[in-house]
Structure 1
């Protein structure tokens, strides 16, 4: 039976304010060190632990969160692997993550921005597979009418991975793409350019989840790190799905900005 432990944190080193809410670590599917890494990651992302500042020592973190040294070390190893902290001989572990890195995260202000490419964009094609059907657990919109070409790829910005995708494109449309075009351009741009039938439905939904092993390995992040899982479905006038994608974006590289001014007039 899962157990919960309420932790009463002590003040952090350097006079930083303790969290307003008491973290609750639970013995369950997510390991304690992954839970702690999430808490510490929040201190960095919020600016509570600013760039180049020393973070509390392992002993201080053990006392602050009521966890063992091994758990704390494993949590710090996760943050180090993500490039958030570093330790050098002769000084304490310090923050290496800057606000500039956060501001550089790919943003998707509108659905149309999905197809926008910046000069920093890069793609690594992982595989091509011909298939007759869409995945059974997909978002149930439109009609599956294969064959499809399944393209698995890794989206990058300035050489750093931020999105891992499995994309199904109707084979008759995919065959119109110039040879090797998916190595240079986003598939959604190619779809819009080369589809001879109008796309009449385009839907997207976003869910936040913990990265599984394949996502963590592909995106270069820790398992259980938050990722945004985004499904997109494009259908033609006959309701045939011509494009279906399922993408996992690194949580620290994904953001949404939307102008919601129009909603003020509906209140």
Structure 2
């Protein structure tokens, strides 16, 4: 049983505690749909079962179900029950969404960019300066939203070395990822990159920008691109909706030397 109304100490409060109980329950149901746990066309458990599973009243369950029905995720059929609408797919099952997130260079089919603001002459915030990197004197800050099939899935602050940005095509941030522009047009030879991935929650501004639930799970990725001299050419502070996030990495397994097991008896010849 998952208790949604459990009391926590006052110093452990966050945005989630100020969200109505039925909204939090709707968020859990939505995540089950997005993850594929509840598949398209599947009938949901009866209301009494959901009440028992989450220790909430029937009215709370019905409000949560109605909220998702209004968003087109569920459909209620009189006399039969509530079903996941057809056409709902999890992020894992959508190869183009996976590419949109994991391809750091290029936009994929269905992916778009909405630039909210561009600022020049900006200093790189200390919290975005990763170990081993040296900030340059001035950056262009681009605040933007990435969309997939018109649905916003990521909010980003991208800082590009201003001297490098001057080499980019005008207004390229509206139609290209900045790493592609840095790769193709930047005057400096790039060296290594670093990423730091943590879990966060959507505050009011983020929830509004991404059309997401207040307190919803977010994946935060802070990254730096370094020159061969260790200067930070670009930094990115990205927040991804948890219900639309999937990370995929393909790496070559390094050669690992075999370490003899001292507890294993030696072969006798």
1:255 pairs with 2:246: yes
The equivalent of 1:16 in structure 2 is: none
The equivalent of 1:72 in structure 2 is: 61
Q: Distance in 2 between matches of 1:215 and 1:243?
A: 22
CA RMSD, Structure 1 to Structure 2 (Å): 3.1
Q: Distance in 1 between matches of 2:230 and 2:143?
A: 24
1:55 pairs with 2:48: no
Q: Is there any run of 5+ residues in structure 1 with no aligned partner, and where?
A: 1-21
Q: Is the 8 A contact 1:149 1:168 kept in 2?
A: yes
The equivalent of 1:23 in structure 2 is: 2
Q: How many equivalent residue pairs?
A: 245
**Where do 1:1-267 residues align within 5 Å?**
22-25=1-4, 26-28=6-8, 29=14, 30-31=16-17, 32-33=21-22, 35-45=24-34, 47-76=36-65, 79-80=68-69, 83-87=72-76, 92-96=81-85, 98=87, 100-102=89-91, 103-104=93-94, 106-107=97-98, 113-141=103-131, 142-259=133-250, 262=253, 265=256
TM-score (norm 2): 0.76
- Any idea what the Cα deviations from partners look like across 1:225-250, whole Å, max 9, x if unmatched? 22211111012233321101111112
Q: Distance in 2 between matches of 1:97 and 1:264?
A: 46
Q: CA deviation at 1:167?
A: 0.4
Q: Distance in 2 between matches of 1:81 and 1:265?
A: 54
Q: Distance in 2 between matches of 1:110 and 1:215?
A: 18
Q: For the structure 1 residues 159 and 110, does the alpha-carbon distance in structure 2 shift closer, same or farther, using more than 3 Å as the test? A: closer
The equivalent of 1:5 in structure 2 is: none
TM-score (norm 1): 0.76
- Give the SS at the match of 1:116: coil
Q: CA deviation at 1:199?
A: 1.6
Q: Is there any run of 5+ residues in structure 2 with no aligned partner, and where?
A: 9-13, 259-269
Q: CA deviation at 1:94?
A: 2.4
Which deviates the most, 246-255 or 100-109?
100-109
- Any idea what the Cα deviations from partners look like across 1:23-73, whole Å, max 9, x if unmatched? 243334324445533543454345453312332454553344221345434
